[in-house]
Amino acid sequence: MPLAATMGVGWLSVDKADRSDKKVRVAVRILGDEYTIRGDADPEHIKRLAADIDARVRAAMESNPKLGRSQAVILAFLNIADELERLKSQYEELMQLIEEAR
């Protein structure tokens, strides 16, 4: 899966080029491809994130063997986005309950 030389959002970036800066660099594997992730987070946290992505994409591919690699990636990320939206909604509800209790 080709990537641009550097692509990133927030505190992480995927770096295919050799760059030297103060951010931590962590090599991870997703679907057998190695990526160097640069970021401010703990290296073990970055590895856990990559392992989670790998597991979710593999699960999508195993649940429907007809899915192509890119389709499985999109399905996995749609599931992650759904999870995030649900958690945001729950958080907002909890914050509202806290505010009402004050």
**Tens of pLDDT, residue by residue, the chain (102 residues):** 333 233 444 556 665 554 555 689 999 999 999 999 999 999 999 999 999 999 999 999 999 999 999 999 999 999 999 999 999 999 999 999 999 999
The pLDDT of residue 20 is: 52
Place of tokens 């699960």: 59
Domains of the chain by residue range = 6-101
89 Cβ partners below 8 Å, 6+ apart? none
The pLDDT of residue 58 is: 97
State pTM to two decimals: 0.74
